[in-house]
């Protein structure tokens, strides 16, 4: 049972100051605000006055007596994404990290015909602007801007293709400058050598080209196993370049790559 | 009070009704009990042990059985304790805690609605979130999220 | 009076029109048409149309005035995009409401449902016909104008309750009943406060009451009565803090919950007509009507239509006071409202009647320089 | 007038959300009430079973849309317990800073809506204006104004930007002045007292029996505050008082919330001082792979069996602005929690209206239910 404690002094503010008259204080408070906002109320005439306009921030701050400007650090806003197609490495991490499954990797011109280049396409009808995709982007090419106006007449217009997001990028909007602290990740992609058939799929599809197929002397085939008449190759992953996107795992036909910690 | 003291007191009172008292991070312990002694156990906790505040009633579907858990708070000891009982999946029934803690009313309606636990003696065991006449208990593991057409039909047919 | 009045102007227009129309008719009809009765009738009609237009425009301006004032009290701007400083915003809103479908709930009573907005509107607007706006700017100078105005003003609860009951809605019904109780309760203090004014001025005629304030405005001796009258008017006009009948927090929209489109616009406009009438009554009874104190330089009072100008300025300022109250006070409860009315306002009003009588008596005391012109 | 049932909701100005209060009235006197919930049920507990721990944080913001960071903290405390992760201390202080600012924002939102319920619209705009400053602060370090997605299992997303602490101090000073203004508009107003004194009385023993928590319980004289009674995060290192009142009515709840805002400012100032003096990491050094920033795909089903993730349970109770929120997470060793159960204080506080509403008048419903601080998002989940 809670101890029923009397209200200590100072913990119930306002009770000690009794109103002088019925309604004088509220009337006076409203009148004070009236006098204050007579010239410049602190509301914003939105389509005409914009918070992202630096001149305007100061004006509102001064006029309304606020301690800090309206939208003073506007650049951190998580708005529409800007995509730099040129530096995108098609690693898929943004699509994987999206909790709402609103990112789809679509083909953009620029890749070679065998391995088309894929960039994210975002459906803003589903997007929750959590920023996980831009946090996950290893190259910093997918970033969130201060653009927040997303109205459209059709649902299809809410789907932003890579080209459209590239235009956002080219419009030089302020990018979100916050860089996320990435925790040290000891997990790596490891290889189960006996299963590998050296098919080169992982090295071919690696977005950062950090996998090289090296000749491995395959000296001791298992007894009874048919030895292929070609040179054994095995992927070797350059760990400093690896962005841990897992593409190699998903393309491996024999499931011989896996996540693990190198002892 | 310590976890082992609690275990000793409860075991001396209920004997085999108490299946065990586990250590639980951040809590006084987790008391696993037989559903048959639920009502008596609740009274003991409120009247003898001073756990006046029932904070949470929930249920977990472990596929082969279902677990009901209650968390209680004692103002004197400033500590939480969790009670948990395993119920068979085909007849998940336990005595209601409403006569002991009135606040169990909404919690138990929620547990019935979402996990399908029947609380005997509850004054008003209706669904609380899902529509009346809804066919599923959505927090069961057998309920899959991506079946919109199926849901629509079931609701309409009621 | 040599100045052109609104009624003489209407009379002239009517006579002019009839004189020109009469040519087309044969002689007996012609003679009847140009007779005084027909001219008077048409003149009344023209007078009514002008008055209606003026009152409607003023009402809509009043809405604008409230929106702007309330905005500043709340640290925002109010209407500002349509027209200069949002002056035309309410006309745009009215147009929008006009285009909307008006419908009736299927189980509502047809006659009551359709009748009540119209009747509410009419009984509100018709008061303008007898309010003296300035010298010569009223329809008829009846001896009992004040009583007539108050009587018409108090028709409203009837129609509110009718509409609320007819619309077959629980919220509306509760709101209607609250409205009836509240308005009836506040008739008494209002009439008592008015009695104080009548005692001091010695007349029920509004023009006389204004003219009697040539020495001093009545708010000074009758401050208590002014407070009572303002409070009562707030209750009669159903404004915060006394807007229980349409307390939107519990009753959605109170008695006009089921009304939409133009019917709602009727209710809303009629409400603002009543606000305007209330403010005008305060100006007439306590604030000297269209007159200004004698120490005001004559340049301020001698320009054309100066009386109407100052009258409207006062009325709008009084309404600004109502807006100020709305911006600072919460709504009170029905029982508290009735308690305030019967327990506080009625005794205060009685006290103010006594004060008025004392003032009259003091005027008649020879030592104070008897002013026997007081009283009728 | 005979008795009748009035539906207040699901779309009604009193409800502040989407729920239905069925009221049986006789004349204007309430005889019985029957709250009906579920209009906003989104199945957050079910969705959570299919999401990574960090992805559930996006749901937490939407659970209570006026106290997102408080619910993020609730989930994070439980999840870190279930996953055996210890966050760095700086992250804890930032979380407390955020949660307390969120408490002020939520209480201001409550104040705005509550006073509008009793017919006064001016404080609504004052409140929204002042809350906007806090949202500006949130935006400047989380990037969001309503849904923050800021806390992560193992820390927070990013450190505070330069100069933020000074800006926070300015806002704190300014807010303290505004609280005085709020009191002048309400507490010094006789009509306010007429409307609020002695309404919705729920004494402490009954409140505890009915499971009512938070400011509603403390307004009855109980000193129960989880931040004191069962300190989580770094609340045991901070100085503050528990706000209480004795009247157990609407005015008491107003006083408690107002005082809580002042105490929150006090906590925030201590946090700011600490944060200024102790730079450091805001993310735990060691995290399981699927919790790290790149949420890479897990891999092949065959190798899922190779994983060796920790199992555990997490139980947290947090003093959220509306009351005591709870979370119980069962981690069976997968990327997704096996079961997440949340306790919503609002659900219980609303449900207890069967106890504290009957006997009052219809006109008293808005102030009483307003003083509960209803947030249907967390009630229905």
Q: For domain D43-380, give its CATH number from 3.90.870.10, 1.10.1660.10, 1.10.569.10, 1.10.645.10.
A: 1.10.645.10
Distances (CA, A) of A231 to A194, A204, A205, A211, A212: 15, 18, 21, 18, 15
- Per-residue pLDDT, averaged over B121-136, amounts to 83
For helices C110-125 and C156-166, angle between their N-to-C axes, nearest 10 degrees: 160
Q: Are D262 and A13 in contact (CB under 8 A)?
A: yes
Residue C77's Cβ-count burial label (10 Å; 0-12, 13-18, 19+) is: buried
Strand order in the sheet with D20-26: D3-8, D20-26, D29-36
- State the best of D317, D341, D349, D352 to mutate against chain B, taking most chain B CBs within 10 Å: D341
Choose from B69, B72, B110 for mutation: most chain D CBs within 10 A.
B110
Report yes or no: D313 at the B interface, CB cutoff 8 Å: yes
Are A85 and A137 in a shared domain? Answer: yes
The answer to whether the Cβ–Cβ distance between A43 and C77 falls below 8 Å is yes
Q: Which of residues 78-117 of B touch D (CB under 8 A)?
A: 78-80, 82, 101-107, 110, 114
Nearest-neighbour CA in chain C from A85: distance (Å): 42
CATH code of the domain covering residue A245: 3.30.70.3270
Say which of C76, C170, C241 has its CB closest to residue D125: C76
Q: Distance between CA A51 and CA D88 in Å, rounded?
A: 35
Range of the domain at A67: 41-72
Q: Give the mean pLDDT of D257-279.
A: 91
H/E segment holding residue D329: strand D323-331
In this structure, what DSSP letter does residue C345 have? I
* Interchain pair A33, C73: CB under 8 A: yes
Pure H helices in chain A: 24-37, 54-64, 93-97, 132-136, 162-170, 201-205, 247-251
Mean pLDDT for the stretch of residues D68-72? 90
Report CB contact under 8 Å: B75, D224: yes
User: What tens digit of pLDDT does each residue of A31-70 get?
Assistant: 888 888 887 787 777 888 777 777 776 666 666 667 776 6
| Res A154: pLDDT | 86
Q: Which residue of A has its CA nearest to B50?
A: A1
Q: What is the mean pLDDT of residues D24-42?
A: 86
Instruction: Give the pLDDT confidence of D187-241 residue by residue, as tens digits.
Output: 888 888 888 888 888 888 888 888 898 898 888 888 888 888 888 888 888 888 8
User: D324 at the B interface (CB within 8 A)?
Assistant: yes
> Quick one: pLDDT band at residue D101, thresholds 50, 70, 90?
very high
**Number of structural domains in chain A:** 3
Looking at the predicted structure, is the pLDDT value of residue D305 above 50? no
Q: What is the mean pLDDT of residues D273-286?
A: 83
Q: Which residues of A touch D58 (CB under 8 A)?
A: 99-100, 128, 130, 132
A253 vs C271, residue with greater confidence: C271
Residue D185: per-residue pLDDT: 85
What count of other Cβ atoms lies within 10 Å of the Cβ of residue C332? Answer: 24
Provide mean pLDDT across the span B88-113.
88
D234 Cβ neighbours under 8 A, 6+ residues apart: D89, D92, D93, D96
What is the per-residue pLDDT for A261?
A: 65
Would you give the distance in Å from CA C295 to the centre of its chain? 29
> Where are the domains positioned within chain D?
43-380
List the single residue in D116, D125, D189 with the smallest CB-CB distance to C329: D189
pLDDT tier, D98 (very low <50, low <70, confident <90, very high otherwise): very high
Residue D104 reports pLDDT greater than 90: yes
With contacts defined as CB-CB under 8 Å, which chain B residues touch D81? 25-26
Cα dihedral sign, D349-D108-A128-D295: negative
What span, in angstroms and rounded, lies between the C-alpha atoms of A37 and A34?
5
Closest listed residue to residue D21, CA positions, set D12, D34, D32: D34
Q: Which of residues 56-85 of A touch B (CB under 8 A)?
A: none
What is residue D304's predicted lDDT score, i.e. its pLDDT? Answer: 45
From chain D, the residues in CB contact with A130 under 8 A are 57-58, 147, 149
Residue closest to D357 by CA, chosen among D25, D91, D82: D25
Are A211 and A202 spatial neighbours (Cβ–Cβ below 8 Å)?
Answer: yes
Tell me, what's the pLDDT at D94?
A: 92
Whether A2 sits inside 8 A of B76 (CB atoms) is no
Q: What is the ipTM of this complex?
A: 0.82
User: To the nearest whole angstrom, how far is the Cα of A149 from the nearest Cα of chain D?
Assistant: 15
Q: Which of D43, D212, D326 sits opposite B56 (nearest CB)?
A: D326
**Under an 8 A CB cutoff, do B139 and D47 touch?**
no
Where would I find the H helices in chain D? Answer: 44-48, 53-63, 68-83, 89-117, 122-142, 164-186, 190-196, 204-209, 215-218, 226-229, 250-277, 301-304, 345-351, 353-356, 365-372, 376-380
Domains of chain B and any CATH numbers: 3-130 (3.30.460.80)
Residue D100: Cβ within 10 Å count: 28
pLDDT of A27: 86
CB-CB neighbors (< 8 A) of D314 in chain B: 25
Contacts of B75 in chain D (CB under 8 A): 208, 224
pLDDT for residue D302: 41
Q: What is the mean pLDDT of residues D235-256?
A: 88
pLDDT value of residue C241: 81
What is the per-residue pLDDT for D105? 92
Q: Distance (Å, rounded) from C-alpha B3 to C-alpha B21?
A: 7
Of D258 and A4, more confident: D258
Chains C and B touch (3+ CB pairs under 8 A): no
- Residue A175, domain member (yes or no): no
B24: pLDDT strictly greater than 60:
yes
Of B59, B61, B57, B50, the closest CA to residue B28 belongs to B50
A237 shares a domain with A198: yes
Sign of CA dihedral C270, C276, C279, C284: negative
Among D379, D330, D258, which Cα is nearest to D81's? D330
Q: Is the peptide bond before C241 cis (omega within 30 degrees of 0)?
A: yes
Chain D residues with beta carbon closer than 8 angstroms to that of C76? 125
**Under 8 Å CB-to-CB from A24, ≥6 apart: which residues?**
none
Q: Which two tokens stand for residue D135?
A: 């949202």
On whether any CB of chain D is under 8 Å from the CB of A246, the answer is: yes
**Across A151-176, average pLDDT:** 84
Q: Pairing state of beta strands B65-74 and B79-88? A: antiparallel
User: Can you tell me the distance from the alpha carbon of D254 to that of C344, in angstroms, rounded to the nearest whole number?
Assistant: 28
CA of A36: which chain C residue's CA is closest? Answer: C75
- The three-state secondary structure class of D118 is coil
Judging contacts by C-beta atoms under 8 Å, the chain B residues touching residue A2 are 75
Q: Which of B76-85, C195-204, D1-10, D200-209 is predicted least confidently?
A: D1-10
Same domain for A122 and A64? no
Domain ranges of chain C: 100-368
3-state secondary structure chain B: CCHHHHHHHHHHHHHHHEEEEECCCCCCCEEEECHHHHHHHHHHHHHHCCCCEEEEEEEEECCCEEEEEEEEEECCCCEEEEEEEEEECCCCEEECCCCCCCCHHHHHHHHHHHHCCEEECCCCCCCCCCCCCCCCCCCCCCCCCCCHHHHHHHHHHC
A136 contacts D208? CB cut-off 8 A: no
pLDDT in the model for residue C172: 84
Are A63 and A81 members of one domain?
no
Chain B segment 54-113 residues within 8 A of A by beta carbon are 75-76
Mean pLDDT, rounded, for D97-125: 89
Interface list for chain A against chain C, based on CB atoms closer than 8 Å: 23, 26-27, 29-31, 33-34, 36-38, 41-43, 45, 64
The answer to whether residue B47 scores a pLDDT higher than 60 is yes
Question: Is residue D301 pLDDT above 80, yes or no?
Answer: no
pLDDT-flagged residues of chain C (< 50): 1-2, 368-370, 372-376
Phi-psi label, residue C313: left if phi above 0, alpha if psi -120 to 50, beta otherwise: alpha
């Amino acid at each position: 049972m809670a101890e029923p404690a009397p209200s200590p002094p100072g913990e119930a503010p306002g009770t000690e100051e009794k109103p002088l008259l019925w309604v004088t204080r509220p009337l006076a408070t409203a009148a004070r605000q009236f006098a204050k906002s007579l010239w410049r109320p602190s509301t914003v005439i939105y389509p005409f006055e914009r918070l992202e306009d630096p001149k305007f921030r100061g004006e509102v701050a001064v006029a309304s007596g606020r301690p800090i400007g309206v939208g003073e650090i506007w650049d951190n806003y998580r708005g529409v994404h800007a995509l730099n197609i040129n530096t995108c490495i098609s690693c898929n991490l943004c699509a994987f990290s999206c909790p709402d499954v609103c990112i789809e990797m679509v083909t953009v011109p620029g890749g070679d015909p065998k391995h088309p280049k894929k960039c994210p396409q975002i459906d803003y009808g589903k997007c929750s602007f959590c920023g996980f995709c831009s946090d996950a982007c290893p190259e910093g090419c997918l970033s969130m801007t201060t653009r927040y106006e997303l109205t459209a007449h059709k649902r299809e217009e809410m789907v932003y293709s890579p080209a459209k997001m590239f235009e956002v990028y080219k419009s030089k909007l302020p990018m979100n400058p916050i860089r996320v602290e990435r925790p040290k990740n000891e997990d790596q992609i490891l290889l189960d050598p006996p299963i590998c058939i050296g098919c080169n799929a992982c090295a071919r599809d690696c977005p950062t080209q950090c996998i090289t197929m090296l000749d491995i002397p395959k000296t001791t085939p298992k007894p009874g196993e048919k030895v292929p008449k070609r040179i054994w190759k095995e992927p070797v992953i350059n760990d400093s370049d690896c962005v841990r996107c897992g593409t190699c795992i998903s393309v491996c036909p024999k499931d011989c790559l896996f996540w693990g910690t190198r002892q | 009070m310590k976890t082992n003291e609690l275990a000793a007191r409860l075991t001396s009172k209920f004997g085999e009704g108490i299946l065990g008292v586990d250590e639980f991070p951040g809590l006084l312990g987790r008391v696993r009990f037989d559903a048959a002694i639920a009502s008596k156990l609740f009274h003991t906790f409120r009247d003898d042990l001073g756990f006046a505040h029932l904070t949470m009633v929930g249920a977990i579907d472990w596929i082969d059985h279902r677990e009901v858990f209650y968390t209680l708070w004692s103002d004197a000891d400033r500590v939480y304790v969790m009670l948990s009982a395993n119920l068979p999946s085909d007849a998940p029934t336990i005595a209601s805690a409403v006569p002991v803690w009135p606040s169990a009313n909404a919690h138990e309606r929620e547990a019935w609605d979402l996990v399908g636990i029947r609380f005997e003696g509850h004054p008003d065991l209706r669904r609380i979130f899902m529509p009346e006449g809804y066919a599923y208990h959505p927090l069961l593991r057998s309920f899959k999220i991506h079946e919109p057409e199926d849901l629509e039909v079931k609701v309409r047919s009621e | 009076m040599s100045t052109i009045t609104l009624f003489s102007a209407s009379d002239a227009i009517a006579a002019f029109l009839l004189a020109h129309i009469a040519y087309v008719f044969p002689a007996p009809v012609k003679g009847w048409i140009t007779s005084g009765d027909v001219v008077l009738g048409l003149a009344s009609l023209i007078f009514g149309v002008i008055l209606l237009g003026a009152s409607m425009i003023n009402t809509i301006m009043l809405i604008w005035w409230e929106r702007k004032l309330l905005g500043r009290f709340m640290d925002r701007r109010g209407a500002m995009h349509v027209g200069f400083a949002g002056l035309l915003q309410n006309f745009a809103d009215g147009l929008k409401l006009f285009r909307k479908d008006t419908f009736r709930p299927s189980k509502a009573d047809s006659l009551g449902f359709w009748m009540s907005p119209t009747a509410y509107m009419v009984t509100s607007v018709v008061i303008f016909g007898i309010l003296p706006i300035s010298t010569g700017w009223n329809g008829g100078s009846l001896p009992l104008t004040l009583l007539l105005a108050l009587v018409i003003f108090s028709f409203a609860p009837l129609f509110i309750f009718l509409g609320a009951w007819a619309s077959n809605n629980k919220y509306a019904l509760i709101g209607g009943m609250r409205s009836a109780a509240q308005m009836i309760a506040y008739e008494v203090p209002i009439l008592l406060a008015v009695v104080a004014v009548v005692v001091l001025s010695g007349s029920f005629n509004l023009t006389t009451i204004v003219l009697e304030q040539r020495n001093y405005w009545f708010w000074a001796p009758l401050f208590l009565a002014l407070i009572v009258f303002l409070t009562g008017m707030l209750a009669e006009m159903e404004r915060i803090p006394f807007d229980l009948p349409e307390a939107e927090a519990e009753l959605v929209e109170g008695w006009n919950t089921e009304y939409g489109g133009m019917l709602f616009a009727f209710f809303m406009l009629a409400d603002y007509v009543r606000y305007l009438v209330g403010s005008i009554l305060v100006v007439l009874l306590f604030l000297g009507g269209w007159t200004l104190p004698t120490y005001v330089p004559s340049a301020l009072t001698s320009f054309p239509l100066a009386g109407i100008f100052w009258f409207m300025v006062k009325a709008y300022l009084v309404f600004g006071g109502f807006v100020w109250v709305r911006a600072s006070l919460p709504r009170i409860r029905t029982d508290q409202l009735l308690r305030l009315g019967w327990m506080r306002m009625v005794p205060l009003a009685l006290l103010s009647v006594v004060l008025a009588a004392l003032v009259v008596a003091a005027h008649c005391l020879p030592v104070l320089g008897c002013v026997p012109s007081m009283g009728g | 007038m005979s008795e009748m049932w009035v539906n207040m909701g699901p779309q009604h100005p009193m409800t502040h959300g989407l729920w239905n209060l069925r009221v049986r009235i006789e004349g204007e006197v309430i005889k019985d009430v029957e709250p009906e919930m579920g209009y906003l049920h989104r199945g957050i507990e079910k969705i959570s079973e299919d999401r990574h721990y960090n992805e559930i944080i996006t749901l937490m913001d939407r659970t209570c849309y006026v106290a997102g960071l408080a619910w993020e903290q609730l989930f994070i405390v439980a999840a870190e317990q279930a996953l055996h992760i210890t966050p760095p201390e700086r992250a804890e202080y930032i979380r407390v800073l955020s949660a307390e600012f969120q408490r002020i924002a939520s209480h201001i939102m409550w104040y705005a809506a509550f006073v509008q319920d009793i017919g006064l619209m001016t404080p609504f705009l004052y409140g929204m204006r002042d809350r906007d400053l806090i949202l500006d602060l949130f935006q400047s370090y989380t990037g969001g104004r309503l849904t923050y997605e800021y806390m992560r299992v193992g820390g927070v997303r990013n450190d505070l930007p330069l100069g933020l602490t000074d800006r926070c101090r300015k806002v704190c000073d300014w807010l303290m002045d505004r609280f005085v203004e709020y009191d002048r508009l309400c507490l010094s107003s006789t009509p306010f007292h007429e409307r609020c004194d002695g309404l919705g009385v729920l004494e402490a023993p009954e409140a505890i029996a009915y499971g009512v928590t938070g400011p509603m319980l403390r307004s009855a004289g109980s000193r129960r505050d989880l931040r004191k009674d069962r300190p989580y995060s770094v609340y045991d290192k901070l100085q503050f008082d528990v706000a209480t009142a004795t009247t157990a009515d609407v005015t008491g709840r107003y006083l408690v919330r107002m005082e809580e805002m002042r105490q929150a400012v006090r906590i925030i100032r201590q946090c700011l001082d600490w944060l200024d003096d102790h730079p450091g990491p805001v993310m735990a050094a060691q995290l399981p792979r699927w919790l790290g920033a790149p949420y890479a795909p897990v891999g092949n089903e065959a190798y899922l069996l190779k994983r060796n993730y920790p199992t555990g349970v997490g139980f947290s109770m947090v003093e959220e602005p509306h009351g005591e929120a709870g979370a119980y997470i069962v981690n069976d060793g997968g990327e997704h929690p096996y079961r997440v159960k949340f306790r919503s204080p609002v659900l219980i506080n609303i449900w207890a209206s069967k106890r504290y509403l009957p006997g009052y008048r219809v006109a008293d419903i808005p102030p009483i239910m307003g003083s509960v601080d209803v947030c249907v998002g967390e009630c229905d989940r």
